[in-house]
């Protein structure tokens, strides 16, 4: 069982317990996942479906793409897509409440076979292996995310399939991130690789990054560094799930800090999967999460309305 003391660090759970068919293992996983998301908002998950071979191929192809000249990468930048597909260049995203842009560039991959209003993918012609690896990882992490949402539904005493139709063909995004080398003499004052923020979506699944730097804000106000082990993905609650549960499941603030001066000339790569529902999902807080001790704190809105609001705050949508 997870104890209060363990919430000083990130708890580690095995998704195979949930999918094992053993009712006791499944029930224990549900309670421990829910408790972790209620207390710190992050958990490390094993048996998520990603292989080490796919992860290595994914990171290798990302390095190859980001090593291209900016002029070539910009072929795949489409401002009309509001940063939701293709390449997003340096200085384009600023965390909510901050005035200086994050020190990063990234590439967004969406649904492999989009339906309705969801835009299609923009894939780099020069590196077909980048498209192949990202789409395979997308499908793998989406499948793991669906299982985790089923566990969350059970923890919230909802039907196990509560989220299934809400994330079917949802606007989830795989983001290949490059935190480029920094020059301490030219880096803008106050600029960091990723300023403190909460994620927009329901849950985020993050495979191990190429270097340290990710930190989570603990409840006592202390920042703690976290790194996924090779066989783990780190999963955190996003703002949409926080809203739905009236802050019962907590979207924890996290950041990516700049490296020490002697490591500033090194790149950092990271590939999170942001699990989004369909735009029409109602994020009105569940009645079961509202009582006299926990009054309703969020206004009602759909996932699409909330996403649009946040994209404008980030500077990706005008």
The pLDDT tens digits of the residues spanning 165-175 come to 999 999 999 99
The model's confidence at residue 210, banded by pLDDT at 50, 70 and 90, is low
Apex 194 CA angle, 188 and 199, nearest 5:
145
Alpha helices in 205-261 (DSSP H): 239-244
Task: Indicate the pLDDT class of residue 188, thresholds 50, 70 and 90.
Answer: confident
Q: What is the mean pLDDT of residues 41-64?
A: 94
Q: Does the pLDDT at position 54 exceed 60?
A: yes
> Across-strand partners of 175?
108
- According to the model, what pLDDT value does residue 46 have? 95
Q: What percent of the chain has pLDDT over 90?
A: 67
Phi, psi of 177 (to 5 degrees): -110, 135
Q: What is the pLDDT of residue 269?
A: 93
User: How high is the pLDDT of residue 4?
Assistant: 36
Least confident of 11-15, 124-128, 136-140, 149-153: 124-128
Average pLDDT over residues 85-101: 88
Confidence of residue 9 (pLDDT cuts 50, 70, 90): low
pLDDT at 3: 34
pLDDT of residue 225: 87
Note the pLDDT tens digit of each residue in 279-294.
999 999 999 999 999 9
Query: What pLDDT is stored for residue 11 in this prediction?
Result: 87
CATH of the structural domain 4-314, one choice from 2.60.120.330, 2.30.30.790, 3.30.70.890, 3.40.50.720: 2.60.120.330
Q: Name the strand (E) or helix (H) holding 205.
A: strand 203-207
Q: Phi/psi at 251 (nearest 5 deg)?
A: -80, 105
21/6: higher pLDDT = 21
Three-state DSSP state, 251 = coil
- pLDDT value, residue 5: 37
Residue 301, pLDDT > 50, answer yes
Whether 138 shows a pLDDT value over 80: the answer reads yes
DSSP 224: E
pLDDT at 314 over 90: no
What is the Cα–Cα distance from 84 to 290, expressed in whole angstroms? 33
Q: Which residue has the tokens 């079961």?
A: 288
């Amino acid at each position: 069982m997870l104890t209060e003391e363990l919430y000083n660090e990130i708890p580690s759970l095995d998704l195979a317990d949930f999918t094992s068919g053993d009712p006791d293992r499944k029930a224990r996983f549900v309670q421990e996942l829910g408790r972790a998301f209620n207390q710190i908002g992050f958990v490390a998950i094993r048996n998520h479906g990603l292989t080490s071979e796919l992860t290595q191929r994914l990171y290798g192809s990302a390095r190859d793409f980001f090593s291209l000249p900016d002029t070539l990468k910009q072929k795949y930048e489409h401002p009309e897509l509001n940063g939701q597909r293709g390449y997003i260049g340096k200085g384009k995203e600023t965390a909510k409440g901050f005035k200086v842009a994050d020190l990063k560039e990234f590439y967004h991959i969406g649904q492999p076979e989009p339906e309705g209003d969801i835009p299609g993918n923009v894939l780099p012609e020069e590196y077909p292996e980048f498209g192949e690896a990202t789409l395979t990882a997308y499908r793998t992490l989406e499948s793991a995310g669906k299982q985790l949402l089923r566990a969350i539904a059970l923890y919230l005493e909802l039907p196990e399939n509560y989220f299934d139709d809400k994330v079917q063909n949802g606007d989830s995004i795989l983001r290949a991130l490059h935190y480029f080398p920094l020059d301490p003499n030219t880096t803008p004052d106050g600029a960091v690789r990723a300023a403190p923020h909460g994620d927009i979506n329901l849950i985020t699944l993050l495979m191990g990054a190429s270097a340290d730097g990710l930190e989570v804000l603990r409840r006592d106000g202390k920042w703690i560094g976290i790194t996924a082990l090779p066989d783990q993905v780190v999963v955190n609650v996003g703002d949409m799930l926080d809203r739905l549960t009236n802050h019962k499941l907590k979207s924890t603030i996290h950041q990516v800090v700049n490296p020490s001066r002697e490591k500033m000339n090194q790149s950092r790569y990271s590939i999170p999967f942001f699990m989004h529902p369909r735009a029409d999902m109602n994020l009105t807080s569940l009645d079961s999460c509202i009582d006299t001790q926990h009054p309703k704190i969020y206004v009602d809105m759909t996932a699409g309305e909330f996403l649009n609001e946040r994209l404008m705050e980030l500077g990706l949508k005008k």
